[in-house]
Structure 1
């Protein structure tokens, strides 16, 4: 750590708590990583929580002459979100949203995830304009600071053009909020010199005809190369110039503390089509025609190599598989409308135009959201998909250029020729064709001087081709960053670049805000600190560190995210392979290994939800389980598995004792004593506050006469999970989930059948989660035999009442560990298909919170759960919590993980919520503890809200003989 940063840190420690000032090697490397191909490790990482803290940071940075970079999500691709000095994270605590004017505007703090803003706006039929492919991860601060656009955004709906108001903090700590007249008036007085300086720069542009013409030409394209100097032309008021210069300034001019967007319509009706052309020229001619027609919302070009990169993915039309002509290309087209009739009109018109361009094949327009989502997921996953097949040790680079759309085919050919000349044979091209905006991806190694020189020569050639030969933009939407900083002068000329340097000096005369980004005196800044991705483990070697996984991780903010776990494991493995490590490397390795056990392995939920967000499906939890190794308590696990009935009985007795203690000394005192015991003896579990009492004994099986409610007999094997045999359904205890399930079955005319020796059965999930593989396999085989016997060798369906258990059994069957004849049903699917259609809803809750557990989401049953909940409630509230962090037994053994995963739950739920529902018993315990609501099972909710439909209604609906295959009525 440099002396200046040491002094800075000493002063800063008087203002911020130590736990938010990170200097250890594990966390500085982990938190310092972004999605770009640059690796800079900050000396200090600061977790800022308020504007006052950022103002203090700016003041101290100037006092000590310390460079500083502010960052939100770290999904940027060009090196603008990394630092080897001080990195300030503004995500946690910066997530306020305020809908204005009935959704016509929305005010957002910089830590809001873009998709969350759109979720908030959805009831109003609106959305924000920017729509980058990373919108489910990227945060508003970065989206505005980079002027991100996306697939449907074009140039008209980016942050620059949809900006309503801005709250910005300048380098001197002054806050300007354009939505507050007093703030504007005070700023005009206090910063008159800055505003006069902007007016002078604007006049310079207007006096320079060539520069003025260049600006007008460049910004008819997508362009984020350099500063947005179109602001000096588009506006007369220097205040408007200032706030629009902040858009796309990449944190080099100030800190965007809040932004108010004018929202855009989110048209509910959409249709998508894939169209294949034998030649690139024909494909690009179609793009030109589509742009002129003006009916399409988005057109994505995918070259032949891109098609080949995703040919193994399911969901594409048949014509996209197999051998394609060497010059083939495809278009992914979307049309949107306010109603179905208008959508059909648009789709027909576009379809006719496309067919007139003589495509090789055309999927036709699909309106099924699942089909459309599959098409677009394939397109969004192209960048990571290339990274996933790169040679181990190489780096994945994505660049982002724009050509005049009328020269699109020439531009693609020019790029392809450069790939061939520099032997980047793996490179592929795709992008937003309507705007002439193309991304190209390739995988240099950066492992030798020769490779770095090849990359440098290639970038020189690309810059000449795009910026000079075609008059395009070198960075269309990803921001200049470090990678294109040396080429800004080439694109803008000496006059334009001098103007940008003067803008930087005007806003940041000390040059401390995100140095070497956009403006750099180092002509080789794009070749410094290049990231290498060394081999670590086959499970994670395909990771390109994009960060898409992070919002799904419950340990995000507590310890490490999946991306950070991979980054650190790569570094550990690299250090272990050093043949002659230095003393510093030996010390670093020891420190990383000492910290990684808790931060990386112990606090990983290992539910695999990271894989659901990862474009290439990396399950970091699988690596953490592997690193944990076999259970140290395998023998104990074997004994528990053999005596499961007795263990469940003991656990129920313990829950009864806990309830008694709560009544005698109070819940708080009981919980404090429990926590103290856990600290002294870690094997003692922490029992969450909302843990219910013991479950009652399972109800007796009904007689056939009682079960035949609609004149027929339908038997169902009911596997009651061990967790539902242990914990009561109600908080007080004395009941169980099976009572509600029996009631629902009776209403639907179904007869439950228990598997033999049910009290001793377990799916094996508790053992598998702690790597006690022997006990897990034994439990699975016992359950397999019992279910086969009860189902008459698979003749009867099997109902599984706890989502993690059902996923475990269903996945085991797919893997060949369970008999293929068993007809296994997750509770949500069975209730949706075979129970709810036979029931009549008699009451609905006003507001219901819904949590979709990891297992339900991974099993693809999210839609069924929401449909069941929607039948019982007028309003559903589904916070974006991919994993609650209870993670099987971790809610009892690492309670901080569950608390961290649900730390935003209470504030995400509306006042007056009538309760919550979920499909995992342990998740319900954590949710109830951290929300203050009671989260019930889906069975209990349905049982409370329904009665049996009359036999006449059931016969009229055709349900008496066969169960329906869908749930259209409830949905």
Structure 2
């Protein structure tokens, strides 16, 4: 740790902050400081204290207390930054739930956002207006507005015209001295000009001096013809002469070194609704670059370059075009994106692009597609390149991405020169890709630092790259990823002494004590980029390919409670590293390992929903939940005999569970909801949280007798095998819901209405897909139950002749992954959409409803069908934003109720005016009802209420 404090100083700081912030938002334990302090870069610094202020006032208090003790602070949003700008060994200020505010302005022509809003969420808010924010980084599904603005991140389509610098309208900022400025408020601006006259006048002085220095001013203008995030935004000094405007634009791209952006107002841009894309293949890089230069004048939205090595890295992934494997060495590709507001405009633009490419040799005819799935696949190829390299690297090495820009007219020379440098330094696995229209290239390569000579090899590479790009070609060493730590030692090389000195003057005006993110952007340490390198030791084959990019975090239900998938992996790696020390481990190492292991039980294992939703966001499909289930297996080996007994007497176990529900219902009737809740909470506390938490949403017991009177009809009826899950055989309708039928009753009635003959498997009370055991780590019993079920379903369906409907989505996914491929296994949404809607006459109900797309539905690709089905049945359908996994996870809503509560934070506000909610998992519906404040039911209930038999017409 940097030698600027004592242990007593940290105790004093925490004590001082605890007078304003609750203890749970002042984090200094070994597990969470390491987990929360890790970002997507290849650097590791562990903060002494992680603070989660929820308001501007709290943040100002944190800054004041740190300033009083001369303690540096670093601001963190999503931690997807790649250049080491969001790590610290001092105080890390992390954005939590209090920073997710937003406001649509002027019918979508502008949007006001707090820094904790995910970029994709901002675009979802703007979508109804046909608008979007200008910046569009590849990580927009997980990165936050605070990071987008602080790094001046751009992306595929925005170029330099629509980045944050060009589209910022106003900011609210908090400076190092705790002063707040709102540039949209004339009173705030006037007060700031009085209180900070020296800062405002200093900026105006620097602007006048820079514009008077013709050579420097021209150099700045030249540098910003390209994408450029190296150093501070010196273009603000030549673009503006007013101190407030200069300040506003200097904050963009300042990486938290000049102040904190608490709110940003963007002028939005048009989001053209019609999109087409082509993957164009060229025989060599020279022709690829000629095509790029030609396309610069064409009506394209984006042109993404990928070299042959980049295409190699993804060619074997599922769904990739077969042609990728047949391309010759030396070939390259351009992903060309064209958009329009209507069919005629799109057609005209496509024709212009085709004409532009007519005289340039391609390996195949250039064909544009408007098919949504193919279009998405092309962009998936491009966006997955960086993590894909990480996935194929040697275990124990990291992956490094750098981000440069060449003048577009010299792009082909630059690419060849860059490739030659990599090969000369032995980096034969490096790949090149990037935003070709801007001359912006990303180069990615695996790098180990453990072996002798590797740090020196990396340093020699970076020295030569910096000289080539920044000096010989006059390009940008950091085009869009921010300077960070890994390029801070090279800022002066690129900009020259005069401009570099100007940057230090700017830093001194804003932060004279150098307490805001020191060593980021500007550093006096020439070897900063070689220090505090992150170890990535082998920890578990399931997750060893993780590069800690953080793409998984936005949808994790425990992200605001304990750890995210990335953070669970970080701790597993640290435990693995400590374990390898063996005899070299100090007493401090051993104590640290014990602390991490003990804390990981709750933070890492118990509070993981383990639904696999993280794998849908991971570019290489890592399911961190699978790692957690394996850990649960290791911890529950002594319970295998109990699992076997339950599995062997499963019908009795479900009867016992129904009996428990009946007893709970009787107690509820006698004691009332409030007293029942208090008694349950008290009993759970006394048991050390071993007893499950009772919930007012706990339903009645399910009346399984309904299965004995399954409908039957004419022999010529189409047949379907119906498998009620163990959840629907246990949990019946809710106590307070007007829908008094169980899921089984609804399903049977609906199937009868649609004209199906229902076949029920034998031994139905004994059957289970195995998920209930697998989620606890009891793999052997899970496999045993799956084999039993497989046998019975094959018999009932006549070896797959008839489709099988399971009324619970997670169970269906489990069966699809483990049962015989001959079985056609469907859950409620897919079966209703594909088989019931065509047989029914549906009249949408005059209701406003909410739908919850379960994790399993998302993983099965059913999100669109889910919403389509709901919209066929109801006038108004709400899909709550930022509610992904509900966190109930089978029984965790009872055993770890805080996970369910955290995952559904904000749900009640979004569904407050809905009549009811609908989903396709009975256990999920319990938690949703509890925290949504409205009854949640099976989606089949909605369809049943909105439909009648088509034969009745």
Pairwise TM-score range, normalised by the shorter structure = over 0.9
Aligned pair partner of 2:75 in 64, 70, 75: 70
User: What whole-Å deviation, never above 9, does each CA across 1:307-353 have from its counterpart, x for those lacking one?
Assistant: 1001102333332223x333211001111111223222222321332
Match of 2:848 in 1: 847
Match of 1:231 in 2: 236
Aligned pair partner of 1:695 in 702, 708, 726: 702
User: What whole-Å deviation, never above 9, does each CA across 1:211-242 have from its counterpart, x for those lacking one?
Assistant: 11111111111000000010111112111111
- Given that 1:845 and 1:914 are in contact with CA atoms closer than 8 Å, whether structure 2 keeps it comes out as no
SS at match of 2:97: coil
With 881-890 and 727-736 compared, the bigger mean Cα shift is at 727-736
- Given that 2:912 and 2:933 are in contact with CA atoms closer than 8 Å, whether structure 1 keeps it comes out as no
1:805-954 maps to which residues of 2 (within 5 A)?
A: 805-813=811-819, 819-878=820-879, 879-907=881-909, 909-950=910-951
Verify: 1:249 aligned to 2:254, yes or no. Answer: yes
- Cα distance in 1, alignment partners of residues 709 and 63 from structure 2: 72
Aligned pair partner of 1:166 in 149, 165, 171: 171
Verify: 1:789 aligned to 2:795, yes or no. Answer: yes
Q: Give the deviation of 1:385 after TM superposition.
A: 0.7
- Given that 1:608 and 1:621 are in contact with CA atoms closer than 8 Å, whether structure 2 keeps it comes out as yes
Match of 2:410 in 1: 407
Match of 2:320 in 1: 316
Verify: 1:300 aligned to 2:304, yes or no. Answer: yes
Verify: 1:215 aligned to 2:216, yes or no. Answer: no
Verify: 1:643 aligned to 2:644, yes or no. Answer: no
- Given that 2:310 and 2:431 are in contact with CA atoms closer than 8 Å, whether structure 1 keeps it comes out as yes
- Cα distance in 1, alignment partners of residues 948 and 587 from structure 2: 73
Q: Give the deviation of 1:497 after TM superposition.
A: 0.6
Q: 1:356 to 1:316 in 2, by over 3 A?
A: farther
- Given that 2:805 and 2:828 are in contact with CA atoms closer than 8 Å, whether structure 1 keeps it comes out as yes
- Given that 1:696 and 1:735 are in contact with CA atoms closer than 8 Å, whether structure 2 keeps it comes out as no
Match of 1:442 in 2: 445
- Cα distance in 2, alignment partners of residues 7 and 822 from structure 1: 64
Match of 2:151 in 1: 146
- Cα distance in 1, alignment partners of residues 21 and 709 from structure 2: 64
With 282-291 and 352-361 compared, the bigger mean Cα shift is at 352-361
SS at match of 2:234: coil
- Given that 1:717 and 1:753 are in contact with CA atoms closer than 8 Å, whether structure 2 keeps it comes out as yes
- Given that 1:839 and 1:947 are in contact with CA atoms closer than 8 Å, whether structure 2 keeps it comes out as yes
- Cα distance in 2, alignment partners of residues 185 and 478 from structure 1: 34
- Cα distance in 2, alignment partners of residues 7 and 771 from structure 1: 44
SS at match of 2:394: coil
SS at match of 1:633: helix
- Cα distance in 2, alignment partners of residues 659 and 287 from structure 1: 69
1:669-818 maps to which residues of 2 (within 5 A)?
A: 669-681=675-687, 682-699=689-706, 707=713, 713-732=717-736, 735-813=741-819
Aligned pair partner of 1:359 in 341, 359, 362: 362
Match of 1:958 in 2: none
User: What whole-Å deviation, never above 9, does each CA across 1:643-696 have from its counterpart, x for those lacking one?
Assistant: 222222222222122222222111121122122222333443223221111122
- Given that 1:118 and 1:128 are in contact with CA atoms closer than 8 Å, whether structure 2 keeps it comes out as yes
Give 5+ residue unaligned stretches, structure 1.
814-818, 953-971
**TM-score under structure 2 normalisation?**
0.96
Q: Give the deviation of 1:91 after TM superposition.
A: 3.0
**TM-score under structure 1 normalisation?**
0.95
Match of 1:92 in 2: 97
Q: Give the deviation of 1:375 after TM superposition.
A: 1.1
Q: Give the deviation of 1:502 after TM superposition.
A: 0.2
- Cα distance in 2, alignment partners of residues 862 and 252 from structure 1: 41
Aligned pair partner of 1:658 in 651, 664, 667: 664
Q: Give the deviation of 1:363 after TM superposition.
A: 5.4
1:95-494 maps to which residues of 2 (within 5 A)?
A: 95-293=100-298, 295-322=299-326, 324-362=327-365, 364-448=367-451, 450-494=453-497
User: What whole-Å deviation, never above 9, does each CA across 1:863-907 have from its counterpart, x for those lacking one?
Assistant: 221211121233332223221111112222111111111123223
Q: Give the deviation of 1:606 after TM superposition.
A: 1.2
Q: 1:341 to 1:894 in 2, by over 3 A?
A: same
With 179-188 and 461-470 compared, the bigger mean Cα shift is at 179-188
- Given that 1:845 and 1:872 are in contact with CA atoms closer than 8 Å, whether structure 2 keeps it comes out as no
SS at match of 2:914: coil
Match of 2:574 in 1: 571
User: What whole-Å deviation, never above 9, does each CA across 1:394-431 have from its counterpart, x for those lacking one?
Assistant: 11110000111111111111110110111111111000
SS at match of 1:933: coil
SS at match of 1:334: strand
Q: Give the deviation of 1:794 after TM superposition.
A: 2.1
Q: Give the deviation of 1:921 after TM superposition.
A: 0.7
User: What whole-Å deviation, never above 9, does each CA across 1:548-576 have from its counterpart, x for those lacking one?
Assistant: 11112111121211111111111111111
- Cα distance in 2, alignment partners of residues 775 and 310 from structure 1: 37
Q: Give the deviation of 1:6 after TM superposition.
A: 3.8
Q: Give the deviation of 1:290 after TM superposition.
A: 0.7
- Given that 2:155 and 2:480 are in contact with CA atoms closer than 8 Å, whether structure 1 keeps it comes out as yes
- Given that 1:445 and 1:532 are in contact with CA atoms closer than 8 Å, whether structure 2 keeps it comes out as no
With 202-211 and 786-795 compared, the bigger mean Cα shift is at 786-795
Match of 1:23 in 2: 28
- Cα distance in 1, alignment partners of residues 218 and 233 from structure 2: 15
Match of 1:596 in 2: 600
- Given that 1:73 and 1:91 are in contact with CA atoms closer than 8 Å, whether structure 2 keeps it comes out as no
- Given that 1:34 and 1:81 are in contact with CA atoms closer than 8 Å, whether structure 2 keeps it comes out as yes
Q: 1:178 to 1:698 in 2, by over 3 A?
A: farther
With 453-462 and 672-681 compared, the bigger mean Cα shift is at 672-681
Q: 1:318 to 1:700 in 2, by over 3 A?
A: closer
SS at match of 1:462: helix
Aligned pair partner of 2:621 in 617, 622, 626: 617
SS at match of 1:407: helix
- Given that 1:105 and 1:263 are in contact with CA atoms closer than 8 Å, whether structure 2 keeps it comes out as yes
- Given that 1:32 and 1:83 are in contact with CA atoms closer than 8 Å, whether structure 2 keeps it comes out as yes
Verify: 1:582 aligned to 2:565, yes or no. Answer: no
- Given that 1:693 and 1:732 are in contact with CA atoms closer than 8 Å, whether structure 2 keeps it comes out as no
- Cα distance in 1, alignment partners of residues 166 and 669 from structure 2: 61
Q: Give the deviation of 1:793 after TM superposition.
A: 2.5
Q: 1:198 to 1:824 in 2, by over 3 A?
A: same
Give 5+ residue unaligned stretches, structure 2.
none
- Cα distance in 2, alignment partners of residues 379 and 519 from structure 1: 32
Match of 2:500 in 1: 497
Q: Give the deviation of 1:601 after TM superposition.
A: 1.3
- Cα distance in 2, alignment partners of residues 427 and 697 from structure 1: 61
Q: Give the deviation of 1:382 after TM superposition.
A: 0.6
SS at match of 1:529: coil
- Given that 1:603 and 1:894 are in contact with CA atoms closer than 8 Å, whether structure 2 keeps it comes out as yes
Q: Give the deviation of 1:789 after TM superposition.
A: 2.1
SS at match of 2:276: strand
Q: CA RMSD in A?
A: 1.7
SS at match of 1:356: coil
- Cα distance in 2, alignment partners of residues 838 and 937 from structure 1: 19
Q: Give the deviation of 1:698 after TM superposition.
A: 4.3
SS at match of 2:704: coil
- Cα distance in 1, alignment partners of residues 155 and 190 from structure 2: 35
- Cα distance in 1, alignment partners of residues 117 and 357 from structure 2: 39
- Cα distance in 2, alignment partners of residues 184 and 521 from structure 1: 34
User: What whole-Å deviation, never above 9, does each CA across 1:507-554 have from its counterpart, x for those lacking one?
Assistant: 001110000011111111111111121111111111111111111211
- Cα distance in 2, alignment partners of residues 207 and 192 from structure 1: 22
Match of 1:961 in 2: none
With 63-72 and 661-670 compared, the bigger mean Cα shift is at 661-670
Q: 1:188 to 1:654 in 2, by over 3 A?
A: same
- Cα distance in 1, alignment partners of residues 628 and 832 from structure 2: 35
- Cα distance in 1, alignment partners of residues 198 and 729 from structure 2: 73
